[in-house]
Structure 1
Amino acid sequence: MIKKLLGALVLMFAVSGPAMSAAAGYPWDRAPERITDLAALQNGAKLFVNYCLNCHSANAMRYNKLVDLGLTEKEIEENLLFTGNKVGDKMTVALNPKDAKLWLGVAPPDLSVMARAKAANLGQPGTDYIYTYLRTFYRDVTRPLGWNNLVFPNAAMPNVFWQQSGPSELTTVTVHPVEKDGQVQWFKTTTLVDADGFTSVVSDEPLADYKGQASVEQTLKYLDPAKQAEFDNNMADLAAFLGWMAEPDQQFRKQLGTWVLLFLALFFVIAWRLNKTYWKHVK
């Protein structure tokens, strides 16, 4: 029975693996772990207020909760409040959802728990999604706002960090079949989306005796490496802040869970010894 069960599990993963990979879309980069780095979280909060809070709300978060990041209420009021809100107010936006839908095609979602909502089913944290998403915008003249995204194709959101990231180029290598006169010929096509958003075909080569499958490989290259390093660092801080905002007390939860497990382990030893002592004269 155990061998049959193991065989069924192996078969299930063998069959579902390619399908799961295909459904996963563009692979997520691993976001740097900065959930305990107060300086990084403070920088992420600054970026969120300056760039994200113009359109996206965070209705489950209040400004005064940022004191947990080492900020004082005075620092929050002087550096993070620009619209006359009070320190105890929620992080709301003045953008009307109807206007947003008219201008952008869809109302920007609330970001309070976005990092938790985007967590993968197999355990990859949502901060990895956010970190990759923010770093995979590219120019696309075919889109209404002139931008597209590798993680979320045809996203309505423009690239608000375009000045920080600098220009980029997207190279796409596609291996695909073409049927002609009843015969199938495989081709390898390379296209380039330049820094201005225009697409051109770099090469289109036939593949003789190709026995593989259709595939698409996309590579986004930033043209200013010096800018990219600072940009990646800022996006890591912003992703970390969104991860913290989705569950501000997660570190306390983890610490408490460790102590609870230690207590249960100690209690198990004591209960086991008491049980053994109680029944030692009973045969």
Structure 2
Amino acid sequence: MKMQFRHLIAALAFILPTTAVMAAGEGPELEKAPINVRDVESLQRGAQIFTNYCLSCHSAQAMRFNRLQDINLSEEQIKSNLMFTTDKIGDTMHAAMPVKDAKEWFGAAPPDLSVIARSRGADYLYAYLRGFYRDDTRPTGWNNLVFDKVGMPHALWQWQGDQVLQTVKGKDGKDEHKLALVKAGSMTKLENGKADTREFDQRMADLTNYLVWMSEPVQTKREQIGYVVLMFLALVMLPLAYLLKKEYWKDVH
């Protein structure tokens, strides 16, 4: 009986957090993020955006600057263009903002982004980065469609411009929220009431792509090793196993 009770407690410990995560994940339907971790140019652009903008407040303590050489950046390129918080290329990526100041300004230190793509998912990050809109009720003046009452201000608003939240009737008659661009930024256009956000969306795809890669930099090599192992099993071990089987069973009638 005690053993069964322990098993029940263990099952509840697993189920309850999972249920909480599912409930927290309710929200607008997320667009598929255009991710390709083999696109080195996209990763390089994403790394530039991340180190120039995200590292001002966020850290990535599980990532070292010299790891960027894996996406075909030279040590000199990394030092000259991407390192602003340290002069040692082997250091981890820590935020420029002191933790004490972050807590005072935002109420809490911004989270580390080392594995944010694994915890949130690429689709969520892609929607979040494009989902900021003006909200005068918030302390920062910004809110987010996929993260209601977000504490983070819109760091890239000059690129995107200003969006506002609109409520429209969906096909099923229910109210739906959508964002509308009302003031163009340096990477968006607004002509005759029609918004062109392709350039900004591409940059956010690059940043999301980099965050996905950063969460597991060895994933491409891991997949390559996996293919080699499968080929070895299929081309070498399987024929040997077949010949061994024939040898063992040759005298069996």
Structure 1-normalised TM-score? Answer: 0.72
| 3-state SS of paired residue (1:239) | helix
- 1:138-170 deviations in whole A, cap 9, x for unaligned? 000000111101111111111101010012222
Q: Aligned letter for 1:275?
A: K
Q: Distance in 2 between matches of 1:92 and 1:63?
A: 10
User: Which residue of structure 2 aligns with residue 209 of structure 1?
Assistant: none
User: Which residue of structure 1 aligns with residue 193 of structure 2?
Assistant: none
1:250 and 2:219 aligned: yes
| 3-state SS of paired residue (2:100) | helix
Query: Which residue of 170, 175, 180 corresponds with 1:221?
Result: 180
User: Which residue of structure 2 aligns with residue 134 of structure 1?
Assistant: 129
Q: Distance in 2 between matches of 1:272 and 1:128?
A: 45
Deviation at 1:272, TM superposition (A): 2.8
- 1:236-282 deviations in whole A, cap 9, x for unaligned? 00000111111111101111111212222332343133213321212
Please say if residues 139 and 148 of structure 1, whose CA atoms lie closer than 8 Å, have aligned partners that are also in contact. yes
Q: Distance in 1 between matches of 2:175 and 2:214?
A: 35
User: Which residue of structure 2 aligns with residue 25 of structure 1?
Assistant: 27
| 3-state SS of paired residue (1:270) | helix
1:152 and 2:150 aligned: no
Deviation at 1:23, TM superposition (A): 5.0
Please say if residues 27 and 146 of structure 2, whose CA atoms lie closer than 8 Å, have aligned partners that are also in contact. yes
Deviation at 1:174, TM superposition (A): 6.7
Q: Aligned letter for 1:142?
A: T
User: Which residue of structure 1 aligns with residue 44 of structure 2?
Assistant: 42
Query: Which residue of 71, 95, 98 corresponds with 2:97?
Result: 95
Alignment: residue pair count: 220
Q: Distance in 1 between matches of 2:215 and 2:141?
A: 30
Please say if residues 57 and 110 of structure 1, whose CA atoms lie closer than 8 Å, have aligned partners that are also in contact. yes
User: Which residue of structure 2 aligns with residue 170 of structure 1?
Assistant: 165
User: Counterparts of 1:189-208 in structure 2 under 5 Å?
Assistant: none
Please say if residues 131 and 239 of structure 1, whose CA atoms lie closer than 8 Å, have aligned partners that are also in contact. yes
Question: Can you give the 5+ residue segments of structure 2 that lack an aligned partner in the other structure?
Answer: 1-21, 190-195
Please say if residues 106 and 156 of structure 1, whose CA atoms lie closer than 8 Å, have aligned partners that are also in contact. no
- 1:163-190 deviations in whole A, cap 9, x for unaligned? 1001222212379xxxxxxxxxxxxxxx
User: Which residue of structure 1 aligns with residue 4 of structure 2?
Assistant: none
Deviation at 1:221, TM superposition (A): 2.0
Deviation at 1:22, TM superposition (A): 9.4
| 3-state SS of paired residue (1:172) | strand
User: Counterparts of 1:169-188 in structure 2 under 5 Å?
Assistant: 169-173=164-168
| 3-state SS of paired residue (1:98) | helix
User: Which residue of structure 1 aligns with residue 60 of structure 2?
Assistant: 58
Question: Can you give the 5+ residue segments of structure 1 that lack an aligned partner in the other structure?
Answer: 1-19, 119-125, 176-211
Q: Which has the higher helix share?
A: 2
Q: Which structure has the bigger radius of gyration?
A: 1
Structure 2-normalised TM-score? Answer: 0.80
Please say if residues 85 and 96 of structure 2, whose CA atoms lie closer than 8 Å, have aligned partners that are also in contact. no
Q: Distance in 1 between matches of 2:107 and 2:244?
A: 67
Q: Which has the higher strand share?
A: 1
Query: Which residue of 275, 280, 283 corresponds with 2:245?
Result: 275
